[in-house]
């Protein structure tokens, strides 16, 4: 059956119909890239490509879910409901989920078990701190978070510990990082664990070093799609290049103008030089925007055209011209927050749903006064970044299951051995983990045996219970439910959160036993900031611009538009890529809005305890005066303030 592509514009249709060979889709913000990819995958299936031979990779769980849902919808609409069995569907996942899949199918090559643990950032920071202390070093002088950032960046560049050690001897700092990294790797190995970056680094290692594994996956996926290609780092680029090497049916979608993650390894050159890697590649430009008004797009186009590291394009829309951009100049950060709260209140009173309003900022510290203003005015708000799976009570339940399935996971055992309290102090733990359990007094030994019996019962239950039932079992068997029921109001809230985990686990029940539990643990380990929005609370959203990537709202406020804040300070020390990234961030922020954008800055701001006069961001002066209107509010000035040295 041949599908009608009438709902696609000519450029989208062009991308859909090009099914063989490399394809670069340069997709501007709001240009319907997910729709284009969905129809392209449908067209491949209609042409006879087996669905399970199609791979689509993106970066966030939210984007992967949206793509999965859209693909399923167009397939069912065209080919009929239930047309594809679960195992026949295209493989749509994030890069890290893809890594987990490949590693789990080849764990014996890495000396792991199928139930290997995945360290989240907090696990890694804690283990690095222990590694630093074991070397007789001070964690205050050698910040575990900074060390993790360095290691993460190296792994993202495809550099292993052994490779790093070869070049580390050149500096004292390099040698120190190498020693700490070595201790960290030993700890990971002892626990049968991988960290977040290992999921990609080990995947690349398997594909590079084992011809049989490499051939298996090159033949498994004959048509590969990569979303947000501009955000790929060195190891992701390597994985994609290897997988696509045999058939060269690779379709990448992206936009250099939305490269905002170079600080964590994203390489803008991956998309800018795609034609060099694939000289036979077809290039398609998606410039028609379906999200924003023309005024918003005109401002965004004017802002981004000053950048040089980009592929030329000009967003346009058939939507209405829309309102002008509102600029509000506040006396200080408190007045700025009050102005935003007043405008938000006005929008809500006019009938706008709170969930359709977002307040974006360049740095997290700007959120404090915004939260205070929301509390004072009783505006419902949600701060992006408070991850459900990072709540202590949720991590405790998950750790019980992980420790039961992976007895080597010392991090999980340390976390839960005294939850609920069992009187097992640090001395007991030291003896337990150093193999000197026989030196413990009988009462302590008895408590440890009870703890092990609980883990054994949970392990047994994991082979007979569906995920939602297993969580209920853990709540009861461990005593957590009894503990929280008898506790304070905060404990009652924690119990409610665990009950929410039971509800969340229901979606894994259909995967069967034990696959459902394994998938649930995997998703818990790979949870991201944007996952907190999946419940879609009817509240305004406060978030950094980085966190807003891929999201859209009717009304967007961009605050703190001051030199040194946005763009950040240090222009003289920034590379071209780094400075242009600030402008790309502003472009991303603008293009989150469907109907209206508000820009704000303060004339005076207290930073690190010091009140400082602020200079408006240069981005404001890049906007055509004819597209701006100045706010008339008690909290703001009615005209631009110009500072003269």
Q: Which residues are catalytic?
A: 33-34, 227-228, 258, 592
One DSSP character per residue, 137-194 reads --TTTS-HHHHHHHHHHHHHTT--HHHHHHHHTTSHHHHHHHHHHHHHHHHHHHTTEE
One DSSP character per residue, 212-266 reads HHHHHHHHH-SEEEESSGGG--HHHHHHHHHHHTTT--EEEEE-GGG---GGGT-
Rounded to an integer, what distance in angstroms lies between the CA atom of residue 152 and that of residue 270?
19
Rounded to an integer, what distance in angstroms lies between the CA atom of residue 267 and that of residue 577?
10
Closest CA to 557 of 386, 288, 370, 306: 370
Percentage helix, strand, coil for the chain under 3-state DSSP, each rounded to 5: 55, 15, 30
Q: How many Cα atoms are found within 13 Å in the side-chain-facing hemisphere of 94?
A: 19
Rounded to an integer, what distance in angstroms lies between the CA atom of residue 617 and that of residue 293?
23
Rounded to an integer, what distance in angstroms lies between the CA atom of residue 376 and that of residue 370?
10
| Packed helices 211-220 and 198-209: angle between N→C axes, nearest 10 degrees | 100
| Burial category of 272 from C-beta neighbours within 10 Å (exposed 0-12, middle 13-18, buried 19 and up) | middle
Indicate the SS3 state at residue 527.
coil
Which neighbouring-strand residues pair with 250? Answer: 224
Closest CA to 237 of 132, 309, 158, 291: 158
């Amino acid at each position: 059956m041949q599908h009608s592509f009438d709902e696609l514009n000519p450029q989208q249709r062009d991308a859909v119909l090009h099914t063989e060979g490399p394809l670069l889709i340069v997709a501007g913000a709001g240009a319907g890239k997910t729709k284009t990819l969905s129809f392209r995958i449908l067209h491949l299936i209609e042409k006879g490509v087996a669905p399970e031979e199609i791979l689509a990779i993106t970066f966030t769980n939210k984007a992967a879910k949206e793509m999965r849902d859209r693909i399923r919808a167009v397939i069912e609409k065209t080919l009929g409901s239930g047309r594809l069995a679960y195992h026949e569907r295209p493989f749509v996942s994030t890069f890290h989920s893809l890594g987990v899949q490949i590693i789990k199918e080849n764990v014996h090559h890495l000396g792991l078990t199928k139930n290997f643990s995945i360290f989240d950032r907090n696990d890694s920071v804690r283990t690095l701190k222990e590694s630093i202390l074991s070397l007789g070093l001070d964690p205050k002088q050698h910040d575990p978070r900074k060390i993790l950032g360095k290691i993460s960046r190296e792994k993202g560049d495809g550099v292993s510990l052994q490779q790093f050690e070869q070049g580390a001897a050149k500096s004292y700092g390099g040698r120190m990082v190498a020693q700490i990294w070595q201790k960290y790797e030993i700890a990971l190995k002892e626990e049968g664990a991988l960290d977040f970056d290992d999921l990609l680094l080990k995947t690349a290692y398997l594909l590079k070093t084992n011809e049989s594994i490499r051939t298996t996956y090159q033949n498994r996926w004959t048509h590969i799609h990569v979303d947000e290609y501009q955000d790929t780092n060195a190891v992701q680029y390597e994985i994609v290049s290897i997988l696509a090497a045999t058939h060269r049916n690779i379709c990448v979608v992206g936009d250099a103008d939305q490269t905002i993650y170079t600080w964590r390894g994203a390489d803008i050159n991956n998309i800018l030089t795609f034609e060099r890697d694939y000289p036979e590649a077809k290039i398609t430009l998606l410039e028609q925007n379906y999200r924003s008004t023309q005024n918003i797009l005109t401002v965004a186009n004017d802002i981004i055209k000053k950048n040089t590291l980009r592929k030329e394009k000009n967003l346009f829309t058939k939507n209405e011209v829309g309102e002008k951009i509102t600029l509000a100049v506040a006396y200080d950060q408190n007045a700025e927050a009050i102005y935003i709260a007043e405008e938000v209140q006005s929008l809500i009173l006019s009938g706008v749903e709170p969930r359709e309003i977002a307040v974006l900022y360049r740095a997290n510290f700007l959120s404090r006064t915004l939260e205070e203003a929301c509390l004072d005015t009783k505006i419902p708000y949600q701060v992006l970044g408070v991850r459900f799976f990072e709540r202590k009570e949720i991590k405790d339940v998950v750790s019980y299951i992980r420790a039961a399935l992976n007895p080597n996971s010392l991090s999980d055992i340390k976390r839960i051995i005294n939850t609920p309290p069992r009187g097992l102090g640090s001395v007991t733990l030291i003896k337990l983990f150093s193999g000197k359990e026989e030196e413990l007094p009988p009462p302590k030994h008895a408590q440890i045996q009870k703890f092990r019996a609980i883990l054994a019962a949970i392990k047994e239950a994991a082979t007979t219970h569906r995920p939602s039932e297993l969580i209920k079992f853990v709540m009861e068997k461990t005593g957590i439910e009894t503990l929280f029921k008898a506790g304070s109001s905060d404990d009652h809230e924690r119990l409610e959160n665990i009950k929410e985990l039971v509800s969340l686990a229901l979606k894994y029940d259909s995967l069967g036993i034990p696959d459902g539990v394994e998938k649930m643990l995997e998703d818990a380990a790979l949870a991201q900031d944007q996952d907190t929005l999946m419940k879609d609370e009817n509240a305004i959203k406060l978030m950094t611009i980085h966190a807003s990537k891929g999201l859209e709202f009717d009304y967007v406020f961009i605050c703190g538009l001051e030199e040194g804040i946005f763009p950040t300070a240090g222009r003289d020390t920034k590379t071209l890529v780094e400075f242009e990234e600030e402008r790309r961030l502003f472009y991303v922020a603008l293009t989150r809005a469907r109907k209206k954008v508000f820009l704000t800055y303060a004339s005076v701001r207290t930073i690190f305890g010091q009140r400082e006069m602020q200079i408006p961001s240069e981005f404001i002066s890049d906007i055509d005066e004819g597209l701006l209107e100045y706010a008339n509010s008690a909290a703001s000035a009615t005209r631009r303030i110009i500072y003269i040295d």
